[in-house]
Amino acid sequence: MLFRSSFGLNQAPRTWEPTITNIANQLEVPLRGPCVDAFPSNGQLFLCSYWDTVVFSPLNYSTTSTPILGVRLYNQGRGLLTSNAWANTDSAVYGMDSRDVWVFDGNNFKGIGNQRVKNWLFDQIDPANYQRIFIETNTQDRKSTRLNSSHRT
């Protein structure tokens, strides 16, 4: 992963080279496969591949003005199916990986639904269109969560 400290909100860095006002570096992240997406929870950033999740935790600002991040494997075997297969609510994150639909409370991942529901859901997904899966929430309507995907025809 490449990171840089000095650039505007929603802007790409002009360079990855370190300068007087910019700290740029590379960081090895312990994920199997490429990063799919990331979600925030409890002041931390959870970065997911198809198979795993790592957590980025700010450690301190004591020695420099740039935050020092702690990076560690958080869960092996729990990742994200696609880049939009998650959604935040006020108290939890809902997501979907290759074997389950889950809820994350900031500390633990928990599968949602029994094996019969999971079998039915995954049978409805067209393998050619799985990239179209996304999760959206409506917190105004009793925090209901909907999973949207392309169904086989």
Q: pLDDT tens, position by position, for the chain (153 residues)? A: 555 555 555 555 555 565 555 555 666 788 888 888 888 888 888 999 999 999 987 755 555 655 566 788 898 889 999 888 899 888 889 999 888 889 999 899 999 878 898 888 888 888 888 888 888 877 666 544 445 555 543
In 10 A of CB 55, how many CB atoms? 17
User: Residue 153's pLDDT is what?
Assistant: 38
In 10 A of CB 49, how many CB atoms? 19
CA 130 – CA 119 distance, rounded (Å): 15
Which H or E element spans position 120? helix 115-123
CA 29 – CA 41 distance, rounded (Å): 19
Q: What is the pTM of this model?
A: 0.72
